[in-house]
Amino acid sequence: MSDALICTACATPHPPSERFCPDCGLPLVHSPEVAAAAPAPTSAQQRARKIQARYAEGPLVRVAAARHQSEAELIQGMLLEEGIPSLTRRSGGFDVPDFLAAGPRDILVPQSGALAARDALGTTAPPALLPRRPAAPWVRALAAALAGLLIAIVAAGLITAVWP
């Protein structure tokens, strides 16, 4: 393919009709042969920020966390302005149907763009996962009492069902 697009993470060639790698999900870039033979960009093309291939190599790493989908999209837009490709995924452990915009998201970038992404976002290290706080003693006592009540109700129902 003379006008092939390639995935910088897995180096798989793709036809020009595709925009993202079906295996990795990363945006595709022009192969080096096509980029070398391309005509000089216009001034409008120079002003437009594009994904830079140097930031699109390696495995995906977590560089930021967002509280919900719209915040994640804002962060992705900031990274795109710097030429850094990114993906969002729902943070693990948050049980909400996928069609809802609620819930925390992880922002992932290729490893070669992680330092630039953290610099663009003003962070110095990968975001720590939020620690789980232990429940207050009164919450644990209430949960134990409700569990005991539920067990008593079920046991009473079983007893009356077996011995009418």
**pLDDT tens across 115-131, in order?**
999 999 988 776 665 55
Give mean pLDDT, residues 31-37. 62
Q: What's the alpha-carbon Rg for the chain, to the nearest Å?
A: 25
Mean pLDDT of the chain: 79
Give mean pLDDT, residues 132-147. 81
Rounded Cα distance, 116 and 74, in Å: 17
Judged against a pLDDT cut of 70, whether residue 46 lies above it is answered with no
User: 78, 121 in Cβ contact below 8 A?
Assistant: yes
Q: What is the pLDDT of residue 91?
A: 80
> Rounded to 5 degrees, what angle do the CA atoms 78, 80, 41 make?
135
